A and B are shown apart, each in its own frame.
Chain A
């Protein structure tokens, strides 16, 4: 334990699962000092009232000015993904009506090092989702190559012409560059060219910000992110303004798919990292309440079914083993293959029962004890605790070729991971690399290595004196 670690202020954790909002306040020992729940109308983004009621409830127990950090965990983005699946399901029925409607679509600009034309954007997607979501796309050259060099110049004339096609009916743009984890320069240059035409306010997601290996899977995640980004902005701003009105001046963090946090400004730009955040927080919080590091946590109320099975809520479960959330390295979200890790048990197959889900997980992770998310505290409290007590993290992917200095490459990745974690809101004084996973690339002689590095730190807070402190403590 780092003795230099700053003493944590009171932290507010908020869980928003559907219309049900739970709020807790934890102290520096992570003990719950206040809690409240409320049922709102509609989801957070619609300002349904549940948030103000739940947080207002805890503020009867704790002074708003004492809260130094606030954390949100929500399943709202999993609901959005479910909507995309329902879109696909309802498609045949609604085809005629939708043809007439002006849908907000996602345009895709792919910047390859090589022609990638055999596998265009949206290839392999459910046909009806493509029909509803896909805007114009362009495949162009000038992307990053396998050695990190840039292969040719961007075709700015064509990119600007593409931007003109995005003026009408396009809500957001996804830019996916080859090997963007080695150099995202081409993606950023392409984004700048689009903004010259569309203005600085254009909603653009870069695949380098989404991260991960595999251009098509990363591009798919980037497209889904672009599709979610408008809703994410609205929702997070709504939460921030509600908290402000309640007198809470603390910075807001949001829980990501592995349960770690990122600042609200970063999170609202990267909602694909938030889709499984609520399950991850539930697992972390419930195991913390149960004082265990090894358990399968079942959320019977569940998450929106992601298998296209309509509005049904399927049971979901997650696993904490040796104190770590067990992740599925790649996930199929809204019927689309992505490279985004989500908790093992998040994407459950259609119609799976709770017992079957547990037995599947037990086969993967051993005979761990089963905990239920709504025991001993009411549903949502575990997730709120999980969010309030989570650290901040950031991930980096890199690749060392044959002949590269592997130690150098890894050291650079470690530095970058720490820098990114600090940008995501981690305290620079105690952010460190927590995980390094190196994998040999097959069919490449000489031991080429892919690596994944995660840096973690406690959320930064400005400390005593940065905002007015109550007198009654003296």
Chain B
């Protein structure tokens, strides 16, 4: 048996950076969850990170995700009581889980479950159900596998709890979202107990490790000059689609909600500008009418100097940026995966384009 990995205070910064990378502009900026994790861990605290394969068969696994809006989080910050309210209340699970598993390995949701694991004194599973930032609770690999937990538990910062029993393939998102809004746009969400076998069958594996690795990769990029940094990204399966200054951000709305379009002028004025389409995440990169990359691959817009990934809200005019594509999990690239989270599902009316086979897309 492999020695279990122990997450320490030194891992917080790379984890937060990796979470911002996997968020693809979404998932909520990790900063507050990062500060929370620092407070919870102190100088010497550690969290055990357990691979899915090594979970005990009778383990009781609890997914955790913060649902709501960054705007609410920015003023409500976070509490410490929600995890224990969710798990210890008689009406709910009635016991502390054997481990927690992140629901969405992106943004604040990559870090919050670690903080909750430390508060509960349990390990965190090295896996999740999305592998990237997603706009809705229905866009998970559970939906891909047509499985649903029996119930969702929602706890707001004031300790109010709502239980939603799911059945018959009805959208969890449609059930949960109005409750999140009523609770003031910030809730901690878990589900009825998941077994180790369930997680082994359905969860994406190695998500915490991948997030940390990407955090280290992006954290090291500013030490290289640009061609070297682009090569490092290529060696991790990524590609730099373009670099330049955001000259315009156009915001509109369509039936799916607010969306924006960034125009990024390259250093070389003879090249066509790069356009990035976003909703809550960066979803499409287009140059001169050619789609260079699309969701569900991960699009990162990073600061030109520091390589710090920007949230969609921070990608404003005058920012000097790189646009990077990273491959998503293979399960999202299947026909069923693309039907759920591909460009058509996000309202773009075009097919998925694999950035690694687009000639114009490989980092220059």
- List residues of chain A with CB under 8 Å of any chain B CB: 112-120, 123-124, 145-147, 151, 178-179, 213-216, 326, 329, 337, 360, 363-366, 399, 439-448, 450
Complex CA gap A215/B80 in Å reads: 17
Complex CA gap A329/B304 in Å reads: 17
- List residues of chain B with CB under 8 Å of any chain A CB: 26, 28, 31-32, 34-36, 38-40, 68-72, 74-81, 115, 135, 156-158, 177, 181, 184-186, 245, 251, 253, 257-258, 260, 280, 304-305, 311-313, 316, 318-320
Q: Are A441 and B158 in contact (CB under 8 A)?
A: no
Complex CA gap A124/B31 in Å reads: 10
Q: Are A360 and B312 in contact (CB under 8 A)?
A: no
Q: Closest approach, in angstroms, between the C-beta of B326 and any C-beta of chain A?
A: 20
Complex CA gap A115/B304 in Å reads: 37
Q: Are B71 and A114 in contact (CB under 8 A)?
A: no
Complex CA gap A450/B34 in Å reads: 24
Complex CA gap A337/B38 in Å reads: 15
| 15 contacting pairs across A/B (C-beta < 8 A) | A114-B186, A115-B158, A116-B76, A119-B35, A124-B35, A146-B71, A146-B72, A213-B75, A216-B32, A363-B245, A364-B319, A441-B69, A442-B70, A447-B253, A448-B71
Q: Closest approach, in angstroms, between the C-beta of A124 and any C-beta of chain B?
A: 4
Question: Looking across the interface, which residue of chain A has its beta carbon closest to that of B180?
Answer: A443
Q: Are A145 and B69 in contact (CB under 8 A)?
A: no
Given contacts A364-B318, A443-B280, contact A115 B81 (CB under 8 A): yes
Q: Are B79 and A118 in contact (CB under 8 A)?
A: yes
7 more A-B residue pairs beyond the given contacts A115-B79, A366-B245, A443-B70, with a C-beta to C-beta distance below 8 A? A120-B39, A146-B71, A178-B76, A213-B75, A215-B77, A363-B304, A445-B257
Complex CA gap A115/B81 in Å reads: 9
Contacts of B39 in A (CB 8 A): 118-120, 123
Q: Are A214 and B78 in contact (CB under 8 A)?
A: no
Question: Looking across the interface, which residue of chain B has its beta carbon closest to that of A177?
Answer: B75
- Which listed residue (B26, B72, B260) contacts A440, Cβ 8 A? B260
Q: Are A124 and B38 in contact (CB under 8 A)?
A: yes
Q: Are A214 and B257 in contact (CB under 8 A)?
A: no
Complex CA gap A448/B257 in Å reads: 10
- Which listed residue (B71, B115, B156, B185) contacts A118, Cβ 8 A? B115
**Interface core residue of B71, B74, B319 (most chain A CB under 10 Å):** B71
Complex CA gap A287/B157 in Å reads: 50
- Which listed residue (B79, B280, B318) contacts A114, Cβ 8 A? B79
Contacts of A117 in B (CB 8 A): 79-81
- Which listed residue (B80, B245, B253) contacts A364, Cβ 8 A? B245
Contacts of B28 in A (CB 8 A): 443
Contacts of B186 in A (CB 8 A): 114
Contacts of B157 in A (CB 8 A): 114-116
Nearest 7 CB-CB pairings of A with B: A114-B157, A116-B77, A118-B78, A115-B79, A441-B71, A118-B36, A124-B35
Q: Are B75 and A146 in contact (CB under 8 A)?
A: yes
Contacts of B80 in A (CB 8 A): 115, 117-118
Q: Are B69 and A442 in contact (CB under 8 A)?
A: yes
Given contacts A146-B184, A442-B69, contact A363 B320 (CB under 8 A): yes
Q: Are A215 and B75 in contact (CB under 8 A)?
A: yes
Complex CA gap A446/B245 in Å reads: 29
Q: Closest approach, in angstroms, between the C-beta of A460 and any C-beta of chain B?
A: 33
Complex CA gap A364/B244 in Å reads: 9
Q: Are A364 and B76 in contact (CB under 8 A)?
A: no
Contacts of A442 in B (CB 8 A): 26, 69-71, 280, 311-313
Complex CA gap A470/B304 in Å reads: 58
Question: Looking across the interface, which residue of chain B has its beta carbon closest to that of A116?
Answer: B77
Question: Looking across the interface, which residue of chain A has its beta carbon closest to that of B244?
Answer: A363
Q: Closest approach, in angstroms, between the C-beta of A217 and any C-beta of chain B?
A: 8
Q: Are B258 and A447 in contact (CB under 8 A)?
A: yes
Contacts of B184 in A (CB 8 A): 113-114, 145-147
Contacts of B319 in A (CB 8 A): 364
Q: Are B318 and A178 in contact (CB under 8 A)?
A: no
Question: Looking across the interface, which residue of chain A has its beta carbon closest to that of B281?
Answer: A442
Contacts of A213 in B (CB 8 A): 71, 74-75
Contacts of B318 in A (CB 8 A): 326, 364-365
Complex CA gap A114/B79 in Å reads: 8
Q: Closest approach, in angstroms, between the C-beta of B36 and any C-beta of chain A?
A: 4
- Which listed residue (B78, B81, B156) contacts A119, Cβ 8 A? B78
Contacts of A178 in B (CB 8 A): 75-76
Q: Are B158 and A114 in contact (CB under 8 A)?
A: yes
Complex CA gap A292/B298 in Å reads: 43
Contacts of B260 in A (CB 8 A): 440
Contacts of A360 in B (CB 8 A): 305
Complex CA gap A151/B159 in Å reads: 14
Q: Are A337 and B31 in contact (CB under 8 A)?
A: yes
Q: Closest approach, in angstroms, between the C-beta of A2 and any C-beta of chain B?
A: 29
Question: Looking across the interface, which residue of chain B has its beta carbon closest to that of A113?
Answer: B76
Contacts of B320 in A (CB 8 A): 363-364
Q: Are B76 and A440 in contact (CB under 8 A)?
A: no
Complex CA gap A440/B71 in Å reads: 10
Contacts of B258 in A (CB 8 A): 440, 447
Q: Closest approach, in angstroms, between the C-beta of A150 and any C-beta of chain B?
A: 13
Complex CA gap A364/B317 in Å reads: 10
Complex CA gap A116/B38 in Å reads: 15
Q: Closest approach, in angstroms, between the C-beta of B266 and any C-beta of chain A?
A: 12
Question: Looking across the interface, which residue of chain A has its beta carbon closest to that of B119?
Answer: A118
Contacts of A447 in B (CB 8 A): 253, 257-258
Contacts of A124 in B (CB 8 A): 34-35, 38
Contacts of A365 in B (CB 8 A): 318
Contacts of B115 in A (CB 8 A): 118
Complex CA gap A124/B13 in Å reads: 12
Contacts of B311 in A (CB 8 A): 442
Complex CA gap A445/B178 in Å reads: 10
Question: Looking across the interface, which residue of chain A has its beta carbon closest to that of B43?
Answer: A127
Given contacts A118-B80, A123-B38, contact A146 B185 (CB under 8 A): yes
Q: Closest approach, in angstroms, between the C-beta of A26 and any C-beta of chain B?
A: 31
Contacts of B280 in A (CB 8 A): 442-443
Complex CA gap A146/B184 in Å reads: 7
Complex CA gap A363/B247 in Å reads: 12
Complex CA gap A447/B184 in Å reads: 16
Given contacts A443-B69, A444-B69, contact A216 B76 (CB under 8 A): no
Given contacts A439-B313, A442-B280, A443-B28, contact A119 B77 (CB under 8 A): yes
Question: Looking across the interface, which residue of chain B has its beta carbon closest to that of A127?
Answer: B43
Q: Are A214 and B74 in contact (CB under 8 A)?
A: yes
Contacts of B79 in A (CB 8 A): 114-118
